[in-house]
Structure 1
Amino acid sequence: MQFEHSPQLRDAYPDLIAGVVLASGITATADVTRHAASYLTEARRRLAAGPESGFPEIQAWRRAYAAMGLRPTRYRCAAEALLRRLRLDGELPRVHPLVDLCNAVSAAYAIPVAALDLDRVDGDLVVRPAHGDEAYLSFAGDTEHPEPGEVTFVDSVGRAHARRWTNRQSGWSAVRAGTSSVLIVAEALHPGAEPAVTRLVADLVTELTDEWSAPTAAAVLTRAAPRFRTPTAGDDRGQAVSPGIR
């Protein structure tokens, strides 16, 4: 399996930095409450200084959405939506231990983080503008087709795993009780994104190891190194990453 952003997308957003973590052995029985709380504390600390709309990470995504012809206050990136909910409600909903952890990390870093069930992804996965014939399954069970040019995650059989890039994930590959193998993707566009994403990836690898003893492979993708391939037997299982928020 290979993951990448299309050359067209990277040309349009040359500052895009993505963190990728592959993990197996995930279960729904882990208790991530304590560790997730530390990330939510960091998110609340940042929100105490001002609303999420002023964060440079969120402003970069708002500019990207405006460039795509989308109204940023209607279609928020996932990180902004989480931070807004945390600010208004004081907590984030609990879904699944892995999703809860990824949401807390996303809020702390103000960077969108998606977790996909790899068993529900066919072949390679490319983040690219849609052609318009891709199939997206909503959480309500409805099949939708992303608009031509809309950025989405597309697998080898033409299934769309997101709408409007980082706005909404697909119900098809959402993490669920029986999920075992996952691909976690974090994407950032703001100045200084590479060290932030590197720290975020380090945090995820640490948490996955602590909570699930999950074998992991990780990478930080840039314009110069845009591709992640699933390791095979004998491959290096990842790369050195710096410690982040704990």
Structure 2
Amino acid sequence: MHFSHHPAIWTQYPELAAGVLAARGLHRDVQAESVIARHEAVARARLAASGGESEWPEVQAWRRAFARMGLKPTQYRCASESLLRRFRKEDALPRIHPLIDVCNAISMAHGIPVAVLDVGQVRGDLQVRHAQGTERYLTFGDEVEHPDPREVSFVDDEGNAHARRWTHRQSGLSAVRDGTSEVLVVSEAMHAGGAADVERVLESVREALDAIWQVGASSRRLAASDPRFAFR
């Protein structure tokens, strides 16, 4: 099984920086609050210093990318911006699953989307590509949607769309749940210096996996010249 971005994505978004990590042996019965709090503190300090997430270069770059996709950036926000916006207003996020909570905190600290997918729900290879419009996207309310033609999504070999509007929203199909043991973590950035920041995101995830679950992980940064990552 491989993860990749379609060549057309690299061509249309040459500024894209992407990194992927795979890990197994995950479970829910862990204590993760200290790690979460550390990354949330970074996000809180950055928000206070900047006046809001909309001023962050990481967020601004994704807004420009969404505009190029024909989406209104203030209607469809990348996942990290949505998290930061809620965190700024409420100074907290609801706890979902320790791994999701950790990755959400890391995403906010860096201002970069971090997707976590249950590998057990991915059928065959997974590729970030333009949708044809026939793919199936399962919402968290168990409703089936179809991405718009040319919409960017994470699509597996059976036509399951694991995201809507690229980094806007993940699918309920591959969401991490209590029984999840093997995951694929994807981080993508569009801003100048994004490659180094994606590396830092992956390192933060690796450190959390080691500290909380005592499991290792394989990871790599992707590029147009080397776009594939084997995860099973």
TM class by smaller structure: over 0.9
Supply the AA of the counterpart residue of 1:10. W
* Native 8 Å contact 1:16 1:223 kept in 2: no
Alpha-carbon distance between aligned partners in 2 of 1:62 and 1:77, rounded to the nearest angstrom: 8
Equivalent pairs: percent with the same residue? Answer: 52
Supply the AA of the counterpart residue of 2:86. R
Alpha-carbon distance between aligned partners in 1 of 2:187 and 2:31, rounded to the nearest angstrom: 22
Any stretches of 5+ residues in structure 1 without a counterpart? 232-246
Alpha-carbon distance between aligned partners in 1 of 2:225 and 2:43, rounded to the nearest angstrom: 31
Q: Which SS does the other structure have where 2:4 is aligned? A: strand
The question of 1:13 aligning with 2:52 is answered no
Q: Which SS does the other structure have where 2:47 is aligned? A: helix
**Corresponding residue for 2:160?**
159
The 5-angstrom pairing of residues 129-168 of structure 1 reads 129-168=130-169
Supply the AA of the counterpart residue of 2:78. C
Alpha-carbon distance between aligned partners in 1 of 2:231 and 2:58, rounded to the nearest angstrom: 28
**Corresponding residue for 1:197?**
198
**Corresponding residue for 1:36?**
36
TM (norm. structure 2) is 0.98
Q: CA RMSD in A?
A: 0.8
Q: Which SS does the other structure have where 1:35 is aligned? A: helix
* Native 8 Å contact 1:5 1:128 kept in 2: yes
**Corresponding residue for 1:211?**
212
Deviation of residue 4 (structure 1)?
0.5
Deviation of residue 230 (structure 1)?
2.5
Q: Which SS does the other structure have where 1:159 is aligned? A: coil
Alpha-carbon distance between aligned partners in 2 of 1:220 and 1:162, rounded to the nearest angstrom: 20
Alpha-carbon distance between aligned partners in 2 of 1:206 and 1:32, rounded to the nearest angstrom: 12
User: Which segments of structure 1 move beyond 6 Å, counting only runs of 4 or more?
Assistant: none
* Native 8 Å contact 1:135 1:146 kept in 2: yes
Deviation of residue 199 (structure 1)?
1.1
Any stretches of 5+ residues in structure 2 without a counterpart? none
Q: Which SS does the other structure have where 1:70 is aligned? A: coil
Alpha-carbon distance between aligned partners in 2 of 1:92 and 1:136, rounded to the nearest angstrom: 25
TM (norm. structure 1) is 0.92
Deviation of residue 15 (structure 1)?
1.2
Aligned residues: 231
* Native 8 Å contact 2:184 2:231 kept in 1: no
Supply the AA of the counterpart residue of 1:158. G
**Corresponding residue for 2:112?**
111
**Corresponding residue for 2:62?**
61
Alpha-carbon distance between aligned partners in 2 of 1:187 and 1:230, rounded to the nearest angstrom: 17
